[in-house]
Amino acid sequence: MMFVYNILIRFLIAGMKVGAIFNYKLKKGLAGRRQSCDLVKSQFSADDKIIWMHAASLGEYEQGLPVLEKLKEKFPKHKILITFFSP
């Protein structure tokens, strides 16, 4: 099953790259994702303890913020990573 999943993901990525030729938003989104990986790698080390929250929309981010604040109180030494992908 994992094999099928990996094949489908590769087709999806290839389709997004082709689509980015014709769609500026898609092109900008792909570029942003590439830049975000480099940014995250530069801010965190392998030894860091990280609390990671991903939000797909602004509303989802706002709903998750109180939870994240409580987690930060409970784990003050952890670094916070918030990812947000929305056109």
- What average pLDDT does this structure show over 5-11? 94
**In the chain, pLDDT over 90 holds for what percent of residues?**
59
pLDDT of residue 33: 80
CA 72 to CA 7: how far, in whole Å?
38
* Digit-coded pLDDT (tens) for 32-74: 888 888 888 888 988 999 999 999 888 999 999 999 999 999 9
Helix/strand/coil (H, E, C) string of the chain? CHHHHHHHHHHHHHHHHHHHHHCHHHHHHHHHHHHHHHHHHHHCCCCCCEEEEEECCHHHHHHHHHHHHHHHHHCCCCEEEEEECCC
pLDDT of residue 32: 81
Residue ranges per domain, the chain?
A: 1-43, 46-87
Contacts (Cβ under 8 Å, ≥6 apart) of 50: 44, 78, 79, 80, 81
Residue 86 reports pLDDT greater than 70? no
Of the two residues 84 and 75, the one the predictor is more confident about is 75
Determine contact, residues 78/51, Cβ cutoff 8 Å.
yes
